[in-house]
Amino acid sequence: MKRITLIALLSMIALTSQVSAKSSRAGVDLGIAYDLDLGATLQFSQYTMFINGDAFAFDVRLENFYNSRKSLLLYIDFGAFYEDRALRNKTVDDRVGVRLPVGLSFSLDRNLEAFIQAVPNYDFNDDNEDNFDIDGAIGIRYRF
Rounded to 10 degrees, the C-alpha dihedral 6/7/10/16 comes to -120
User: Rounded to an integer, what distance in angstroms lies between the CA atom of residue 75 and that of residue 62?
Assistant: 8
CA distance 32 to 47: 16
Q: Are strands 47-51 and 38-44 parallel, antiparallel or unpaired?
A: antiparallel
pTM: 0.75
* Predicted pLDDT at 16: 47
Tell me the pLDDT of the chain (144 aa) as tens digits.
455 445 444 555 554 444 444 444 557 899 988 887 899 999 998 999 999 888 899 999 999 999 998 889 999 999 999 988 666 666 567 889 999 999 999 999 889 999 999 999 999 876 666 789 899 999 999 988
Q: What angle do CA 89, 36, 72 make, to 5 degrees?
A: 170
Domain 2-143, classified CATH 2.60.120, yes or no: no
- Per-residue model confidence (pLDDT) at position 18: 45
Short-list 140, 50, 20, 36, CA closest to 95: 36
pLDDT of residue 1: 44
Question: Left, alpha or beta for 38 (phi > 0: left; psi -120 to 50: alpha)?
Answer: beta
Residue type at position 67 = N
Question: Within the chain, where are the H helices?
Answer: 2-16
CA atoms within 13 A on the CB side of 125: 21
Question: Among residues 72, 96, 64, which one has the least CA distance to residue 83?
Answer: 96
Q: How far apart (Å, rounded) are the C-alpha atoms in residues 106 and 78?
A: 20
Domain edges within the chain: 2-143
